[in-house]
Amino acid sequence: MLGTQSSSVVITTEDQVVARLASSTGAIYGYGEYLPPGYLTSPDTSYPVIIHLNGLSEFGTSTTEANLLTVVTKHGALKKIQGSAQGKTYFGQKQVMVFTPRAPTEWLPAELNAFVDFIVANYRVDTTRIYLTGLSFGGYGAWRYAYQYGSRLAALAPMASNIGGPGPTITQLKDVPVWAVHSFADGTSLSAERSWLLGVTKNYGQYAMVTVPEPTAMLTYLFPGASSPTWTSQPGAVATGTAIARMTVLPGGAHDCWTQQYDNYAFWDWLLTQRRASVP
Domains in the chain (CATH in brackets) are: 2-273 (3.40.50.1820)
Q: If we measure between CA atoms, which residue out of 227, 229, 52 comes closest to residue 138? A: 52
Distances in whole angstroms, Cα of residue 181 to Cα of each of 29, 44, 274: 26, 36, 18
Give the relative orientation of helices 265-273 and 85-93 as an angle to the nearest 10 degrees. 20
Q: Over its length of 280 residues, how does the chain's per-residue pLDDT go in tens digits?
A: 444 444 568 999 999 999 999 999 999 999 999 999 999 999 999 999 999 999 999 999 999 999 999 999 999 999 999 999 999 999 999 999 999 999 999 999 999 999 999 999 999 999 999 999 999 999 999 999 999 999 999 999 999 998 999 889 999 999 999 999 999 999 878 999 999 999 999 999 999 999 999 999 999 999 999 888 999 999 999 999 999 999 999 999 999 999 999 999 999 999 999 999 866 6
* Amino acid 138: pLDDT: 98
